[in-house]
Amino acid sequence: MTRKLKIGTLTIGGRAPVRVESMLKERLSSAPEDMEKCRAQCERLLCEGCELARVAFPASELEKPLKWLIDHTSLPLMADIHFDPDLALAAMRAGCASIRINPGNMPLHKLTEVIDTAKGGGVVIRIGANGGSLAGRHIEQAKGDSAAALFLAVKEQADLLSNHGFNDIILSAKSSSVPDTVRANGLLSREYPDLPSHIGITEAGPGDGGVVKGASGIAVLLSQGIGNTLRVSLTDEPEREVRVGYAILRSLELRQRGTNLISCPTCGRRRADVMKLVKLVEPLISGLPDGTTVAVMGCEVNGPKEAAHARYGIAGTPVGAVLFKDGAMVGSYDFDDLPSVLAEFFGH
């Protein structure tokens, strides 16, 4: 088990559940309309269950807008800073409870100031490296092994901070390659078993490919017990990143947020159009308690058995569907009646 960190009221590591993160895609600026867009995106992310969002913080003029945002949302934020220690100091002055930096790029006297300020304010520092921005020296040192180079890059940063007596650290090693990311994180967790880690596959891309890439890497790591907080990086809305993050955790039975919708892939035995049934059902189940299982099956062959195991079950028949609740049959209905019957079935 890793050490437990606190970002405001959010705990990461220790016995805390794996956290789901995203990053604001709206640009923070001092223009009131941009600030409002960022605030609205934070609210949408909160509704999806996002627990921490990074926000790009590329200029010190953003100190006031960042402070405003922190004051106007309950979503914990992490200021994303790359090279400039003065930006790290500005973000902490704005009240940000966590920052992401690359300490290897900061002059030592400035890094000391950043660390002392973080210590004084109880600020958590995320450090890490991406496969795309590795320094030549790490690649050389690792003899061209990109996963080992990623590990070395993060190790250098982690050692810099711990040599300064700072251990409120979240580690991150990401690449767009799933095997490299998995191997680099394995090396890190062996080297720093007590430090929490943020996991994900960077630049995973859009659509199904991006979701699969992110989910594969994250699932492999979580199944090895690695990862305390995750982000599914997608070329998509950040809300989708959060939904996919929870879907991964639900699949691994690590967290139960959301409804567990089971539906059959259909085959030549199908008695009903399952896709049509799923479209009817989906909008009706979003308000069910977390972890509720809803099964939509295409026929009476396997359907009733599967549907009967779910809290709510729907099995297709040639004319409509049979409904089950907690294993007991509720009734058999014609397709035309299903919209109203299903609405009542799910308590609308």
Under the rule (CB under 6 A), what is the footprint of ligand SF4? 264-267, 269-270, 297-299, 301-303
- For ligand SF4, the closer of residues 5 and 308 by Cβ is 308
Whether the Cβ atoms of residue 106 and residue 85 lie closer than 8 Å to each other: yes
Q: In angstroms, rounded to a whole number, what is the distance separating the alpha carbons of residues 337 and 340?
A: 6
Closest contact distance (angstroms) between CB of 254 and ligand SF4 is: 27
Residue 330 phi, psi (nearest 5): -95, -40
Q: In angstroms, rounded to a whole number, what is the distance separating the alpha carbons of residues 226 and 177?
A: 17
Element (H, E) at 77: strand 77-80
Give the three-class secondary structure for 15: coil
**Most distant CA pair in the chain: distance in Å?**
75
- For ligand SF4, the closer of residues 282 and 300 by Cβ is 300
- For ligand SF4, the closer of residues 31 and 267 by Cβ is 267
Residue listed under structure tokens 């030592």: 108
Sequence-distant (6+) residues with CB within 8 A of 40 are none
- For ligand SF4, the closer of residues 298 and 313 by Cβ is 298
Closest contact distance (angstroms) between CB of 86 and ligand SF4 is: 60
- For ligand SF4, the closer of residues 141 and 302 by Cβ is 302
Closest contact distance (angstroms) between CB of 275 and ligand SF4 is: 12
- For ligand SF4, the closer of residues 4 and 269 by Cβ is 269
Closest contact distance (angstroms) between CB of 303 and ligand SF4 is: 5
Closest contact distance (angstroms) between CB of 296 and ligand SF4 is: 9
Element (H, E) at 313: strand 312-316
CA 329 vs CA 2, 308, 323: distances in Å: 47, 8, 6
- For ligand SF4, the closer of residues 53 and 308 by Cβ is 308
- For ligand SF4, the closer of residues 136 and 265 by Cβ is 265
Q: In angstroms, rounded to a whole number, what is the distance separating the alpha carbons of residues 331 and 324?
A: 7
Residue 324, Ramachandran bin (φ over 0: left; ψ between -120 and 50: alpha; else beta): beta
Closest contact distance (angstroms) between CB of 253 and ligand SF4 is: 23
List the beta bridge partners of residue 98: 124
> At 276, which amino acid appears?
K
- For ligand SF4, the closer of residues 214 and 313 by Cβ is 313
Residue 243, Ramachandran bin (φ over 0: left; ψ between -120 and 50: alpha; else beta): alpha
> At 5, which amino acid appears?
L
Q: In angstroms, rounded to a whole number, what is the distance separating the alpha carbons of residues 275 and 279?
A: 6
Closest contact distance (angstroms) between CB of 149 and ligand SF4 is: 46
Whether the Cβ atoms of residue 262 and residue 224 lie closer than 8 Å to each other: no
Closest contact distance (angstroms) between CB of 172 and ligand SF4 is: 41
- How deeply is 241 buried, as exposed, middle or buried, from its count of CB atoms within 10 A (0-12, 13-18, 19+)? buried
Closest contact distance (angstroms) between CB of 271 and ligand SF4 is: 7
